[in-house]
Amino acid sequence: MPTSLRLLKHDLVCASQHGAQLLRAQATAFTPEEIKSPATADLLSQMKTMMRETGGVGLAAPQVGVSKRLFVAEVEGDSAPALPFTCFFNPRIAVLPGRHPAENTSWEQCLSLPGIAGLVTRPGVVQVHFLDERARARALVARGWFATLVQHEADHLDGRVYLHRLASPHDWMYEEELRALPRDRLCVGMSGDFEFVEAE
């Protein structure tokens, strides 16, 4: 297995907490050969397991100790449209101006920042160009909360976490405080949808 893709099962999140150099680094792109390699298949399997076991909806490779441009996402369809497990290799995100909603403000949490949440405003509609697990070109248009999800995960690939996006240093709280919020404040910015579109 190439050193850049080596992943140990015991160092998934705890090795890359906020402040770790890896989480601040600019991740490097995958080649098509790397995407289709057995090492990457193993990485994807471990990321899927980690995300599901922790109850997350997205996870970026730097969060599991691999400084490569990849994130995965999966959303169950209880309160939002269901997004099947999707691999985003070398994602490029473009804001789509003039679309509704122009912005989305929601409470964000992160597996690399346990116990806290932050209120973040991001562009409301974006298009993501990426390669899938077979190195095929794909594209997805995300709106509202789904736009927030892909931007949050893509930030990890550029050495950012959502705390860098807070409009005010006061726009964060502990998870216990978040759970105590009235539903209308807790669920702000939680609507949205997505569609896969033809890749250019």
Active-site residue numbers?
153
Please name which of 41, 33, 138 lies closest in space to residue 92, comparing C-alpha atoms.
Answer: 138
Q: How many CB atoms lie within 10 A of CB 182?
A: 7
Query: Using CA atoms, how far apart are residues 97 and 116, in angstroms rounded to an integer?
Result: 31
- Please state the separation of Cα 103 from the chain's center in Å: 18
CA torsion sign, 142 to 144 to 146 to 150?
positive
Q: Would you give the DSSP letter of residue 111?
A: T
